[in-house]
């Protein structure tokens, strides 16, 4: 029997694919676990290529670094955004060309820069003078991307407080990088799960008017423009069609840079991997905190420390469906929490999911669109709980 939707599922498919449904029907596996259909990853890759045809796609490995997924994207022709020596090794092990890796973390040890350069990596991000000095010393002649601040308005997960510098500093750093013999690009991130395509227009215009123009006036040139990620997964709230985002980006680049645009790059992570995954979890306990509580506490065998860290602040709201425990009767509001002995391990309390009143211990739920930023956030052994089990269904075809 198909699961019963307990919360609204958006129109674009976060619903499990036929391949995932078949996998889940094979046997009753120990929970919690994640299953990912790599066919969906390839579908999203093709969708983004069609939406932004002039851009090179650099998959953000941090979203889901599974070897099966990376292998599929290597064969599809993807480039990769890497954040650490470990991610570089994973991408290279999957067959990626080191020249198609961008070391996008702005905080890197000098030794890690040197090793990456020795392996053939030639693209690096920075947002500070000291970081640029390390790049000039350890990765001479490389292409460097100065990350600029964006406010993240319209996104569920803003990313600019820790990363990036203002435009005045960016101009100075870019000129310094050019003088040091680097090709210079600019990168930004409009925020993860960005639901307003116009955010890309605002950011591209900022770069063109306040960075590229002063560079040109000083005799320099912006060689690359990396518009980052931010394209949304299909959660309870999502954004417009991918083609809308692509049209905004392509149109703005043409308008701002004319017939001599910089090399355009996108860095999707969540967009490619999220909708490909489903987490199956078991209810451990259903409880009320008083005789008069209108809501129940539903404790699952997965929580913040088991892979659902993006529930912090209830920023990401996954579609949830019941697999068992729904007798067709009424539903009621619940607080969802994890299994650990940590009072912070609460997933959703302000936003009230509605689950069957008949739900009890041992029943199972599925969290949809969980293919990104779950396994990589899972603690190794917090409270003695093992890491999230994962299964990746390899592609049924080559892109």
The model's pLDDT over 375-391, given as tens digits with 9 standing for 90+, comes to 999 998 999 999 999 99
How far, in Å, CA of 138 to CA of 238, rounded? 41
CATH 3.20.20.10 boundaries in the chain:
39-273
CATH 2.40.37.10 boundaries in the chain:
4-35+274-393
* Beta carbons of 327 and 333 less than 8 angstroms apart: no
Q: Which of the residues 146, 150, 174, 341 is marked catalytic?
A: 341
Answer whether CATH 3.20.20.10 is correct for domain 39-273: yes
The two tokens of residue 97 are 């060309």
The two tokens of residue 183 are 């090709």
Please confirm, yes or no, whether 341 is among the known catalytic residues: yes
Predicted pLDDT of residue 3: 39
Backbone angles phi, psi at 234, to 5 degrees: -95, 80
Map tokens 């601040």 to a residue: 149
Distances (CA, A) of 292 to 189, 297, 359: 46, 13, 19
How far, in Å, CA of 368 to CA of 45, rounded? 19
Answer whether CATH 2.40.37.10 is correct for domain 4-35+274-393: yes
Predicted pLDDT of residue 238: 85
Residues 6+ apart with CB under 8 A from 236: 7, 8, 10, 317, 318, 319
Q: Tell me which residues of the chain have a pLDDT lower than 50.
A: 1-11
The two tokens of residue 350 are 């302000």
- Check residue 165 and report its DSSP letter: B
* Beta carbons of 282 and 233 less than 8 angstroms apart: no
Backbone angles phi, psi at 84, to 5 degrees: -165, 165
């Amino acid at each position: 029997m198909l699961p019963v939707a307990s919360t609204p599922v958006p129109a674009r498919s976060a619903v499990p694919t036929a391949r995932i449904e078949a996998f889940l029907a094979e046997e009753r596996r120990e929970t919690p676990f994640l299953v990912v259909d790599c066919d969906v990853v390839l579908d999203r890759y093709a969708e983004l290529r069609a939406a932004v045809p002039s851009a090179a796609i650099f998959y953000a490995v941090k979203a889901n670094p599974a070897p099966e997924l990376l292998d599929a994207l290597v064969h599809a022709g993807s480039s990769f955004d890497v954040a650490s020596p470990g991610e570089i090794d994973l991408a290279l092990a999957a067959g990626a060309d080191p020249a198609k890796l961008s070391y996008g973390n702005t905080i890197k040890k000098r030794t890690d820069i040197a090793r990456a350069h020795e392996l053939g990596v030639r693209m690096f991000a920075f947002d500070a003078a000291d970081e640029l000095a390390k790049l000039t010393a350890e990765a001479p002649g490389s292409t460097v991307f100065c990350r600029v601040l964006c406010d993240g308005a319209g996104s569920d997960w803003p990313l600019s407080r820790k990363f990036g510098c203002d435009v005045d500093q960016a101009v100075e750093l870019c000129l310094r990088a050019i003088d040091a013999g680097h090709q210079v690009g600019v990168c930004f991130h409009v925020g993860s799960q960005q639901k307003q395509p116009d955010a890309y227009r605002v950011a591209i215009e900022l770069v063109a008017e306040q960075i590229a123009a002063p560079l040109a006036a000083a005799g320099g040139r912006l060689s690359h423009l990396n518009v980052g990620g931010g394209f949304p997964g299909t959660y309870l709230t999502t954004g417009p069609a991918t083609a809308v985002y692509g049209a905004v980006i392509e149109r703005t680049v043409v308008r701002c840079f004319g017939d001599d645009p910089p090399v355009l790059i996108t860095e999707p992570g969540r967009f490619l991997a999220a909708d490909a995954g489903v987490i199956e979890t078991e209810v451990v306990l259903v409880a009320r905190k008083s005789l008069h509580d209108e809501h129940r506490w539903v404790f699952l065998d997965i929580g913040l420390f088991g892979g659902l860290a993006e529930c912090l602040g209830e920023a990401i709201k996954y579609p949830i469906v019941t697999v068992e425990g729904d007798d067709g009767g009424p539903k009621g509001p619940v607080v969802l929490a994890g299994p650990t002995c940590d009072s912070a391990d609460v997933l959703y309390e302000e936003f009230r999911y509605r689950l069957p009143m008949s739900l009890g211990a041992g029943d199972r739920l599925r969290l949809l669109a969980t293919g990104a930023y779950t396994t990589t956030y899972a603690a190794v052994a917090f409270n003695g709980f093992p890491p999230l089990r994962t299964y990746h269904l390899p592609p049924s075809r080559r892109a």
